[in-house]
Amino acid sequence: MIDTVLELQPLRAGFEIRLEVDDLEMYTGKTALETVLRNLIANAVKHHDLETGEIKVAAHTKGEFIEFSVSDDGPGISSQVQDRVFKLFQTASKNNQQQNSGVGLAISKRTVEAYGGWIVVESTDGCRGTTFRFFWPHTPIPPTVTRSVS
């Protein structure tokens, strides 16, 4: 799925992605999950303050949910603005030169919640890096669904 996300929106030169993903199979809305991941990865690159950076994408089973996280080594998000990053047309950036619509994280939050999950932002003042962690219901693939093999 990450390959598909990166095909639609490749990382800019100087950025690397590291995966830490359990071997998972799940039954869910593929486009919805891809949209959330694409928004989070794109934000990690867009708001990075350096020409190079690393993004880590992780996915692990946590009971009835899969915990996804997208972490970066960028400048972080101040605790003073963390509560507004998921609001429509709000951004954490003070830099007006960047083209920010303030809709990507709002759409991500609404999508995750529509599927019965939740999303949080983690960033510590004075430290680099931000992690967006979201919990997506883990619905095993029903035996009646045919799996494609490639």
Query: Residue 144 falls within a domain, yes or no?
Result: no
**Domain membership of residue 39 as a residue range:** 2-137
| β-sheet with 53-62: strand ranges across | 15-21, 53-62, 65-72, 130-137, 118-122
Q: What is the DSSP string of 2-64?
A: HHHHHHHSPPPTTEEEEEEE------S-HHHHHHHHHHHHHHHHHT-SSS-EEEEEEEEEETT
Is 49 inside any structural domain?
yes
Q: What is the pLDDT of residue 148?
A: 58
Structural element, H or E, at residue 77: none
Q: Is residue 102 part of a domain?
A: yes
Q: How many CB atoms lie within 10 A of CB 47?
A: 19
Check residue 100 and give its pLDDT.
56
What is the pTM assigned to this prediction? 0.84
Count: domains in the chain: 1
- What's the pLDDT at 48? 94
Q: Which CATH number is 99's domain given?
A: 3.30.565.10
Would residue 142 count as lying in a domain? no
**pLDDT value for 97:** 42
pLDDT at 9: 81
Low-confidence residues of the chain, pLDDT below 70? Answer: 88-102, 145-150
